[in-house]
Chain A
Amino acid sequence: MISLEERRRAIADHLRSKKYRIIIDGKIYSADELAREVESGSEIGMKLINMAIRGALERYAKQSTGSQARDR
């Protein structure tokens, strides 16, 4: 089980490795700025972390449904 701290670090590292700029809540953030928001646990940062957690859960559910179907 990945901890919140590890997840934060993983998202921040991932953002820094990309050259994206993200418009969130009407503001544009560079990858670096957003990585700092994620690390500090600000409202915007937490929003992104929650998106990543919900996304991971959906991906996991999809994968397990797929593998169950393959096992049958």
Chain B
Amino acid sequence: MPSKVLVARPEIDEATRIMSRDVAEEFVRLASSMLYTAIDLRDGDASRAGFEYAVKRYGPEMVALFSHGDADKVIGWDNSMLDTSNAYLMKGRILYLCACKSASTLGDKLIEEEASAVIGYKDTLTVVTQGGEMLEAFKNVLRKPSVILMGRTVGEAYNETLSEYERWIEYYDQADPLIADILRSDRDALVLKGDENARLVPATYIIVANTTAVMQVMMVIMLIKILISKTLNTVKQ
């Protein structure tokens, strides 16, 4: 059974529309291309009720939320989508909270409620856009935790995201120091809580493993057929 990934991206205002289009969209695309079952909650479906319904119905192994946030919640379409009172629903799941501050109080509560791991921001997340689009640096760092979908552990994803920050900071220290300073602030807000060895089993691995198993069974059947036909031939002679 392929792993399931739930992405929620309520487009409440211009900021969340940019986040949805420039970051969350890539998560959904990658999840689908890696043959996960991707549950993409947008707008009205990304309400608290819609989110809770989808979690209970599909039981996703990973949940990625792209929205506004505060220390104890992530905002949904019409109210808080995930907060300390429904954090228990995240038991056993890997979370990426791409929202301001939500990995602080809510992050602690999620781990207390036995979520596998949480990657997110414990402080303000600041993003720079130009011409209606996020600068490439911000797109890349915010998308980076998607390497979890490729089978990396949460710890590896966290470290790769930090390295991506460093790469862009080094570039912008020369090109535009203010952008480098904003990236530094985001980097310092990024945290990992819970089991750093938690990982998803990529759906493609399961399919390859199953294909191999099917091929092995077919080879055994063919060998049995050959043996039977040889035995029959010997008996006839």
Interface residues of A (CB under 8 A from B): 11, 14-15, 18-28, 47-48, 51-52, 54-56, 58-59, 62
Asked if A56 meets B181 with Cβ closer than 8 Å, knowing A23-B15, A23-B18, the reply is yes
Which of B124, B130, B180 touches A20 (beta carbons < 8 Å)?
A: B130
A18 to B178, CA, bound (A): 11
- On chain B, which size bracket covers the interface? 20 to 34
- Evaluate whether A26 and B128 lie within 8 angstroms (CB atoms) in the complex, with A51-B184, A55-B180 already known: no
CB contact under 8 A between A20 and B185, given known A14-B178, A26-B100, A59-B180: no
- A9 to B96 Cα, complex, angstroms: 37
Closest approach, in angstroms, between the C-beta of A22 and any C-beta of chain B?
A: 5
State the CA gap A59–B90 with chains docked (Å): 39
**Interchain CB contact under 8 A, A22 and B128:** yes
How many A-B pairs have beta carbons closer than 8 Å: the answer is: 62
State the Cβ distance, A62 to closest chain B Cβ, in Å.
8
A24 touches B124 (CB 8 A): yes
Which chain A residues lie closer than 8 Å to B18 at the CB level? 23
Q: Judge whether A23 and B127 touch: CB under 8 Å.
A: yes
Q: Is B182 an interface residue (CB 8 A)?
A: yes
Asked if A47 and B124 make an inter-chain contact with CB atoms under 8 angstroms apart, the answer reads yes
Please, how many angstroms separate the alpha-carbon atoms of A34 and B73 in the complex? 26
Query: Cβ of A27 and Cβ of B15 under 8 Å apart?
Result: yes
Per DSSP, chain A at the interface is helix
| B173 is an interface residue with CB less than 8 A from chain A | yes
Contacts of B127 in A (CB 8 A): 22-24
The reply to whether B184 and A23 form a contact with Cβ atoms under 8 Å apart is no
Output the nearest chain A residue to B172 by Cβ-Cβ distance: A55
Given known pairs A23-B15, A28-B15, the reply for A54 and B130 (CB within 8 Å) is no
Per-residue CB contact flags for chain B residues 118-154 toward chain A (1 = under 8 Å, else 0) read 0000001011111100000000000000000000000
In the docked arrangement, what's the CA distance between A15 and B126, Å? 15
- Interfacial chain A residues near B126, Cβ < 8 Å: 22-24, 51
The 8 closest A-B CB pairs, nearest first, are A55-B181, A23-B127, A26-B68, A51-B185, A51-B181, A23-B15, A24-B126, A21-B129
